[in-house]
Amino acid sequence: MIVFRPSLATGLVFGLALVSACEPPRTGVGEGSGTPEGVERDAVAAVFDGRAGAWVDLTHPFGPGTIYWPTDTVGFRLDTLVYGPTEGGWFYASYAFATAEHGGTHLDAPIHFAHGRRTTDRIPLRSLIGPAAVIDVTTRAHPDYVITIDDLSAWEAAHGPLPAGGIVLLRTGWGSRWADRTAYLGTDLVGPEAVPELHFPGLSAEAARWLVEERDVVAVGIDTPSIDYGQSANFAAHVTLFSSEIVGSENVAGLEQLPEAGAYVVALPMKIEGGSGGPLRIVAFVPDGL
């Protein structure tokens, strides 16, 4: 069994940092609830029972409308194996699904763009769970916008340094285009000829290098099809981040539900042995008062 124990450096949602966000512990909640240990247990419990805040889903569902990279022309498949009443008298449903690793809301493992780096199944939980920093560039994003060091520094000017062990979420507003594939990708073409026609925002190579060299973040997510902007020819942001074992997530949904600072993210992919990524269920906890 792998047990995740959050460190003080990550300031994770399940730690004592949330005690001040919780209402006073209820009397009689658990054995010893009046003791320091009981207060700590109650503070953690309050994260899950709705007293300390709210959980929000940042995941697009997988289905016929799921958007994939243009070179993947198969998309998501869900085949019915069994659906209906059985001879024993009970209802039973079972399906088989097929998907590329890098479509819909998904995780990029470092090996996706960096030889010898971690595969999906070897990513530690500390790289998938942590405090969120939402970099909101929606008011200035355009189809070829690149997020710069200045954008990251502006966040820090308002909120302080990016949290150690943090997850940077890049909010461009492109999530609102999800229902329109052409608007989301910038082209209605499919196949290799579509790639040069892609237009959507992403992270600049310089900003990626700054995150690696100047800050201690564990993951970067974005509400577009790629961490690199659509017109990138060398995927430099991917290469820079992944070479340093910083994981990525793409097509993240609902970032407008999060404050710029103070939320916590849990981003757990399908644990594919030897994989370069995989479908991702990403959620966030927003403490009360944010």
What value does the mean pLDDT of the chain take? 91
pLDDT tens digit string along 171-204? 999 999 999 999 999 999 999 999 999 999 999 9
pLDDT, residue 7, reads 40
pLDDT value at 211 more than 80? yes
Confidence of residue 37 (pLDDT cuts 50, 70, 90): confident
What is the model's pLDDT at position 29? 42
Q: Which of 186, 96, 191 is nearest to 145 (CA)?
A: 186
The answer to whether residues 147 and 137 touch, using CB atoms and an 8 Å cutoff, is: yes
From residue 192, alpha-carbon distances to 72, 196, 220, 223, 224 in Å are 9, 8, 26, 22, 19
Query: Model-level pTM?
Result: 0.89
Catalytic annotation on 159?
A: no
pLDDT at site 33:
55
**pLDDT recorded at residue 287:** 97
- Is the model's pLDDT at 75 over the cut of 90? yes
Q: Which of 106, 112, 115, 159 is catalytic?
A: 112
Task: Give dist(CA 131, CA 152) in Å, integer.
Answer: 16
Q: What is the pLDDT of residues 108-149, one digit of tens each?
A: 999 999 999 999 999 999 999 999 999 999 999 999 999 999
Tell me the average pLDDT across 28-42: 69
CATH number for the region 56-63+101-287 comes to 3.50.30.50
Q: What average pLDDT does range 51-60 have in this prediction?
A: 97
Q: In whole angstroms, how far apart are CA 234 and each of 227, 229, 240, 285?
A: 12, 10, 11, 35
